[in-house]
Amino acid sequence: MNLKVLLPGFVTVLLLCGASVKAQGFLEGGRVTGNFQLDAQVYKADSAIGAYEVEEKMRMNAFANLLYSNGNFNAGLRFETYLNPILGYDPRYKGSGVPYWFGSWKNEQFEITVGNFYEQFGSGMVLRSYEERNLGYDNAFKGARVRFSPYSGVTLKGLIGTQRFFWEQGPGIVRGLDGEFALNDMFDKKGKCKTRVTLGGSFVSKYQPLEEIVVNDTSQLILPANVASWAARFNINRGGFNLDGEYANKLNDPSSVNNLIYKNGQSMLVQASYSVKRFGVIVSGKRTDNMSFKSKRTETGNSLDINYLPALTRQHAYSLSAMYPYATQPNGEMALQGQINYKIKKESLIGGKYGTDIALNYSRITSIKREAADGESTFLQSGTLGYKSPFLAFGDDLYFQDLNIEIQRKFSSSYKLLISYMYLNYNIDVIEGHPGEPMVKAHILIADMTFKFNQTNALKIELQQLYTKEDEGDWLQFMAEYTIAPKWFFTVSDQYNYGNPDQDRRFHYPTLAMGYTQGSNRLSLTYGKQREGIVCVGGVCRNVPASNGLTITLTSSF
């Protein structure tokens, strides 16, 4: 393992342990907390479903966080080990080390952090670093960050650093400034105004050494060393009404993602919501155009993203409704989403004794409209502006559409029911890169029943049905989970691809699982088959290969 990865961990440990009596006294006044997680999979080949032989037989991902706090001082580290990475995670994680460590100090006005850190400016459209362990995603900064609050309602942030690239650091240097101004806290200290207004702005730039490349054996392109972006945002809130929006712009940034074009990028996100007792509505709109922003211009995967482009789709929790998740298209998309929540009154004929909750959600995402740039006859040709696009014009290509309704009702203290219907359009060509395959049109039905026998024993049953003539055809899923609170759970489930057009591939995917919880410690065992697919969180996705075998998960915190 590279000593550059291990050294920060040893330095932090030394700082925490102390090298003198004075340091020991400092430590005695502090508090140490942490958590641990281990995920291991034992593999068994099943070539029929595409689960092929794994040479190691078992693979493991594990991490442990340690945090020390004492007054205004905090320090921490995270140890990670991937021996070897579980299938579906990037093999470049292979190894062990301390990729994350930090020290920070703060008082009433300042907070200074050195080492590794996560940060977000506004909605993240020009800068967001975060970790999503389910995706194997981590773009943490390594450098320095300062937060400054000189006046009530004013928050200023500045940072500089490189980004995590598995066990190394990416080649680009990221610099960022952000300011947020809560006008009511600044000018209405007595709180007389019922309308609250917050304004904010960001500036982010990246540096990667200037590069000259040749394309099409004839054209020499000079790729800029410095690329700047900026954003402005607002939030207005009054009672149950809330309106917020952000506009982001990025200067020309030719990269592998956009086929080396020199067009500026831009994105806008607007969201409005209103809520009163038993009723709420939210409407969102987003436009994205050429907004991939990475600290390495040749990177095409999920690594080294400087910014984050949220997906305006519902995050579904049930397996079949989440079978076709949406992946954000940074090169261009127009997105709309709306949701209505309504609770039918308790003790009414329809609402019943406990009331009935209804949620209606709709999202639609299309391409942006593209036209040939002035003086150019082709689209997306390397070394050109690529195209031009009217700002509020929708393109002709449908990427994703989701209409779903969910109804929940508690019939008694021992029985509750959830039913859901979903209609889906999924452009598998664009989202998963399967050229020539038709649009997936699916109807999905879900019933989720919970029977509570007493204070500790409960049975949960799920029935899911997916109908489609495209892709792999119809699916059926059954799941039953018995819980003995607060320690035990036992689960049996099966996914059945009974409608696959290829009758020889109409497979079952049975699974058995159990778990035990004791305080802050939890152990779960799962044995069975998993279909191939993709998993997405917030529009960021990873492929999940088919597997067959035993999964062990252990978590603990202190």
Would you state the pLDDT for residue 17?
44
Report the alpha-carbon distance of residue 420 to residue 442 in Å, rounded: 14
Q: Is the dihedral of CA 317, 321, 324, 330 positive or negative?
A: negative
Helices (H), 425-551: 428-432
Helix (H, G, I), strand (E, B) or coil at 370: coil
Record the pTM.
0.91
pLDDT along the chain (558 residues), means of 10: 47 44 60 96 94 94 97 96 95 97 95 98 97 94 97 96 97 98 89 92 96 77 94 96 97 93 96 96 97 95 95 94 95 97 91 93 96 80 89 93 97 95 97 92 98 96 97 96 96 97 95 96 96 90 93 96
3-class state of residue 3 by DSSP:
helix
CA gap 121, 434 in Å, rounded: 35
Report the pLDDT value the prediction gives residue 27, as an integer from 0 to 100.
Answer: 60
**451 in helix, strand or coil?**
strand
CB 387 within 8 A of CB 263: yes
In 413-456 the beta strands, taken as DSSP E runs, fall at 415-426, 440-452
pLDDT at 78: 98
* One-letter identity of residue 83: L
**Separation between Cα atoms, residue 350 and residue 61, nearest integer Å:** 49
Pick the closest to residue 289 from 434, 393, 169 (CA basis). 393
So what's the pLDDT on residue 438?
Answer: 94
Looking at residue 286, the DSSP 8-state letter turns out to be E
CATH 1.10.10 given to domain 317-367+392-511: no
Q: Any bridge partners for residue 555, and if so which?
A: 37, 522
SS3 372: coil
> Which H or E run contains 184?
helix 183-187
Residues 178 and 128 sit within 8 Å (Cβ to Cβ): no
Q: For 207, list phi and psi in degrees, rounded to 5.
A: -125, 125
Structure tokens that stand for 251 in this block: 């200067």
Tell me, what amino acid is at 59? R
- 23's enclosing H/E stretch is helix 21-28
**In the block, residue with structure tokens 């799920």:** 462
Give the CA dihedral 526, 529, 531, 536, nearest 10 degrees.
Answer: 10
HSE of 180 in the Cβ direction (CA atoms, 13 Å)?
19
Cα gap 205→21, rounded to integer Å: 44
Least Cα distance to 358 among 419, 313, 414, 411 occurs for: 419
Question: For 209, phi and psi rounded to 5 degrees?
Answer: -45, 140
